[in-house]
Amino acid sequence: MTWLAMLWFLQDFVQVFLMGFFIVPNIYLMTLLLMALLPATGKERQIMIIWAAFVGGLIWDFRWTNLPGLTAALNAGLVAASCWAWQKIPAQGRTPIFFAVIVLAAMLFSGSVHFALWTVSSQVALRQFFVQQLLGVPLAIIFSLVYWKVSERNV
């Protein structure tokens, strides 16, 4: 949990540093997805991760968004949904590529919901949304590589 708090702060620092240029991709959510979907993660730990997603999202909302509760709900909901989907597919299908797809889908969904609820549709907002999504792609690849390495070690 200390690592998660540090990661949250890292994302916050990056957002402070880049404020006005673009919205930083949700690195915190990506890490939680990685932790939740690793083969060694049990259900109890998954539940803790879901609540960590909620708390992290709520503090993020109070700091960076004008819709407190939305990121919290999205983070927790997406981690829970990913865990459910991961459980439903056969073990052979749980590949790093599928993991990357889940992470990207989560990023796109989370970003789109926020964008759809922004009260103003402006070019600035649209640019920020696109940059956030584009930056999310290399990060998702990095996270899936980490997933690949860590899950290989666990096998």
Judged by CB under 8 A, the residue of 7, 64, 95, 131 near another protein is: 64
**Amino acid letter, residue 34:** L
Q: Give the interface segment with another protein, choosing from 77-85, 91-99, 135-143, 146-154 (CB under 8 A).
A: 77-85
Q: Give the interface segment with another protein, choosing from 52-60, 100-108, 135-143, 144-152 (CB under 8 A).
A: 52-60
* Phi and psi angles of residue 147, each rounded to the nearest 5 degrees, phi first: -60, -45
Closest approach of another protein to the CB of residue 128, in Å: 6
What SS3 class is residue 119?
coil
Residues between 99 and 138 with contacts to another protein, criterion CB under 8 A: 114, 117-122, 124-125, 128
Closest approach of another protein to the CB of residue 152, in Å: 24
Among left, alpha and beta (phi > 0; psi -120 to 50; other), residue 7 is alpha
Q: Which of 72, 109, 71, 102 is nearest to 85 (CA)?
A: 102
